[in-house]
Structure 1
Amino acid sequence: MARHDLTSALRYMWECFRASNQFASSTFRFTLDSDQNVSLLQLATLENLRPFVLARSVSEAEVELEVVSQSVNSFVALVDRSITALDLSATGIEFYPKILTKITTESAADIGNKWGGMIFRLIPREPFPKRALQSDDSHSSTLTIHLAIVNEMNLFPREAIPAEARISVAAEIIGNKYASILSVPAKPDISEIYYPGLDFHGFYGSGKGAVTVQVTSGNEEEFYILLYPSAPRTDMPELKLIPLVLGPFIVSHRISRDNDEEEPLTTLRPLYIDSCEHIYIKESTSDLPGKIWDSALFLCDAVYRDVSNNHGKTLSILDLSSGNGAVGLYLYRKICKYLGHEIEDFRLALTDVEEAIPLIRENAIRCCPDRYHEIVVDSLYWGAQEKRIDYSPFDVVIACDLIYDNEYFDDLLVTLERLCIPGKTTVFLGYKPRGLSSDEKSELWSRIAGIFRMQELEVQESTITGVSGICNKTVGVEIWRLWR
């Protein structure tokens, strides 16, 4: 079926959906002529269609999608762009629509949020604000922060959010009790220059926007600004968005501070231990391995629940290739707070390649300043040559988003097998598809099953980053418990 015929068929079906004025779903089955095209379809079409995909299965050369949406134009445009990118001819793809099935309002909750079950990140974008804010006579200064929203890969999936969406963003001062937000202008000061028509603080469905605040401070101590989505419009669904902490800033009471503009701003992510306590994780500004991945949010919950129900007087956890240390540090703080009276000896090791160690160590010091000396931060490479970490063997090994290239899988499997002591160690594996074909993943999972016993978990994420009430499967994350 040619691209034109495919999109025409989809448009006709969605016109039927729209006429019914109800949620509706349909199953689409793509049959491709080669394994290579299956991989291409997964990388292009399936990822682009994620905002609308309720479930999917892949069997040999067949790819089946169950799709739910109320936006005919967005859906058709995504399909059109995906098929164009694949450059498939009329001989490469066939399309078989099944009978339409209406979904009642009660069961609509099962599809996750209408934003596509995605978890977004709030990030700063160029031009960056100045670190030193020049004050006026009242010791206040106006600050405008340019914003964008992206997914975990630092990309904004166009049309994943309706163009008419209006997401307001609120701001709070943290880190300096003498600094506060004095007022918020009616709209961002630069909205007409950079974002015409932006008459509120936040962004439209384009994924770009700004916030302007007037900050006052009684001293020149540093402070940070927490930015997070405020209450959504009642006619728009909730946005799953990880807040942003940006800084440090100062309100300067002097005429000029020439050197402050050159100091880079830091991007932090808040992780909430509970409603009263949180930690701030610094992310890498240029390297994807230093980000907080979607899988990390669910691993935090899965590991903590398991440890809560199965722990002795001693506990040791290894966060393998931990990136920025987020999962391990979150668990360390939460376990110390809620289980510390039951666990007499709790040790944590955070490991990665040598280049990642400075970021992990910085976060460990920031998040656990009084107990940093109890945490091991060290380099550890996969494979036969990996060095032994102090106080191993471990009770828990965390492997978050380590499977993305089968080139490194042999070394990873060797390391996991050595670290997982039969009858003692539990491995928690977080996985999200990013490049493996269905055949490659099936082969790798078969090899894991040949060594470990495996249990797939369903995790309902609690409020860890401001995101809550979303299941791992809704965002395409798999959480596995492995043991021997």
Structure 2
Amino acid sequence: MSSFSRSEDPVLSDVHLTEVKEQLIDVGYLDGNQIYLSEFEITCPKELLNKLMAVSEISPPKSDIHIDNDGDMVLSRKPVQPRSVDLTRGIIKLQIHHSMETQLRDVGLQIWTGSLVMVDFILDKPDYFLNKHILELGSGAGIPSIVAGMIAKRMTVTDTGESILRLCEMNYQSNRDFIQCPEESFAIQELDWSADEIATIHQPLDCIIACDVVYDNDITDAFFRTVHKIMSKSKPVPTLYMSLEKRLNFTVTELDITCKEYNHFQSCLKQLQTILGSVKVHQFDINSLSNRCDYNRTPQLELWVISEIP
């Protein structure tokens, strides 16, 4: 999730509404934001679960991660617990570091429902991602990248801001026993959407994923400029998968419920299609997906696909 500069009231993701801070593991602070460790249960397809079990030990040691007083990660090499796999229920349990209530500029430290929609999509449509090079834009805590890393050949995980990139690294380290692509093929790097020149992305690139990046028009503009630069330089054109939540607001000026940020997103989507010319845009029916994560799938959640016309 890209950073944001304005000072705003604290915000809290719906994903964290039912979490009780006292029941979470407190691991320290990143740039003034308290970081917790939560367990996310994900129902895994049987074929993938068998693959994970076949190529990895069932109970390897895990790294215990904490943040010291200087904000640096401290990894203890002692075994803390077996890898979290429930074979009977077909569930894996990801250990995810995240923040709770944050300023708007730090929302990428939280977990948002759009990322869980993307997890459902990846695990329901593994053929779209199997042995592919996948780029995540605005990764935030990086849950979709961790899940995609179970089947991808290469992952490039990007965001901007030292604290978010460090959070991604913490979550990679906590769940690396699930990730099947080689360590040297799981890259976490800075990609600033506002920069004139974007960072070099390893080619060829097959897919781009992005979750919950539509919440401010300036950031949406920067996102689509970045997508255009990447897609126009890549041959063949990578497929973009975007999950988002349509956020409704009551405005006093219009005395009505509006969704201006979503309307702006739709406008940008049409512009991208017009500029690239050779792509098609469609909304994927997320109600056809299995519920593999514990979240409230509201009618405001959507998933969009932008792909090259054959």
Q: TM-score, normalised by structure 1?
A: 0.41
Output aligned runs, 1:41-80, within 5 Å: none
TM-superposed CA distance for 1:419, in Å, is 2.2
Equivalent pair of 1:329/1:364 in contact (CA under 8 Å):
yes
AA matched with 1:454: V
**Structure 1 position 449 matched with structure 2 position 261:** no
* SS in structure 1 at match of 2:25: strand
Aligned to 1:177: none
- The structure-2 alpha-carbon separation of the partners of 1:462 and 1:373, relative to structure 1 and needing over 3 Å to count, comes to same
User: Aligned partners of 1:299, 1:395: CA distance in 2, in Å?
Assistant: 16
Q: Is contact 2:158–2:191 with CA below 8 Å preserved after alignment?
A: yes
Partner of 1:431: 244
- In the TM superposition, residue 350 of structure 1 has moved relative to its aligned partner by 0.9
Larger Rg: 1
Matched letter for residue 285 of structure 2: E
Selected match of 1:419 from 230, 233, 238: 230
SS in 2 for 1:301: helix
Q: Matched residues in 2 for 1:402 and 1:328: separation?
A: 15
Q: Deviations over 1:37-81 (max 9, x none)?
A: xxxxxxxxxxxxxxxxxxxxxxxxxxxxxxxxxxxxxxxxxxxxx
Change (3 A) 1:443 1:358: same
- Partners of 1:378 and 1:442 in 2: CA distance: 28
Residue in 1 aligned with 2:19? 123
1:350 to 142, 151, 157: 157
CA distance in 2, matches of 1:122, 1:365: 26
* In structure 2, C-alpha distance between the alignment counterparts of 1:387 and 1:309, rounded to whole Å: 25
In the TM superposition, what is the alpha-carbon distance from 1:247 to its structure 2 partner? Answer: 2.3
Sequence identity percentage: 19
Q: 1:194-209 alignment to 2 at 5 Å? A: none
Give the aligned partner of residue 114 of structure 2.
Answer: 295
SS in 1 for 2:221: helix
Could you report, residue by residue, the CA deviation over 1:405-464 in whole angstroms, capped at 9, with x for unpaired residues? 111333221211222235441100112123751653443333233234101001245343
SS in 2 for 1:277: strand
Q: Residue 303 and residue 482 in structure 1: after superposition, are their counterparts in 2 closer, same or farther (change >3 A)?
A: farther
Q: CA deviation at 1:324?
A: 0.6
Higher strand share: 1
The residue number in structure 2 matching 1:482 is 306
- Where do residues 73-112 of structure 1 align in structure 2 (5 Å cutoff)? none
Give the Cα–Cα distance (whole angstroms) in 2 for the partners of residues 405 and 411 of structure 1. Answer: 10
SS at match of 1:292: coil
| Residue of structure 2 aligned with 1:330, choices 147, 155, 167 | 147
Secondary structure, counterpart of 1:122 in structure 2: coil
Residue 288 of structure 1 deviates from its aligned partner by 2.1
Q: Structure 2: which 5+ runs fail to align?
A: 1-13, 28-33, 45-89, 250-258
**2:198 — aligned with what?**
386
CA contact (8 A) 2:214 2:265 kept: no
Residues 1:309 and 1:247: Cα distance change in structure 2 (over 3 Å): closer
Structure 2: distance between partners of 1:414 and 1:407: 11
C-alpha spacing 1:265/1:357, structure 2 compared with 1 (3 Å): closer
Change (3 A) 1:319 1:441: closer
Contact 2:122 2:129 in 1 (8 A): no
Separation in structure 1 between the aligned mates of residue 129 and residue 91 of structure 2, nearest angstrom: 26
Matched with 1:462 is 290
Instruction: Write the letter of the residue equivalent to 1:433.
Output: K
TM-score by length of 2: 0.61
Aligned residue for 1:308?
127
Instruction: Let me know the Cα RMSD of the aligned residues.
Output: 2.9
> Match for residue 247 of structure 1?
25
- Amino acid in the other structure paired with 1:394: L
Q: Which segments of 5 or more consecutive residues in structure 1 lack a partner in the other structure?
A: 1-117, 129-144, 146-245, 250-263, 337-345
1:402 aligns with 2:213: yes
Partner of 1:366: 174
Partner AA of 1:353 in structure 2: T
Structure 1 residues 439 and 288, CA, compared in 2 at 3 Å: closer, same or farther? closer
Contact 2:37 2:95 in 1 (8 A): no
Matches of 2:307 and 2:214 in 1, distance apart? 18
What residue identity is the alignment partner of 1:321? G
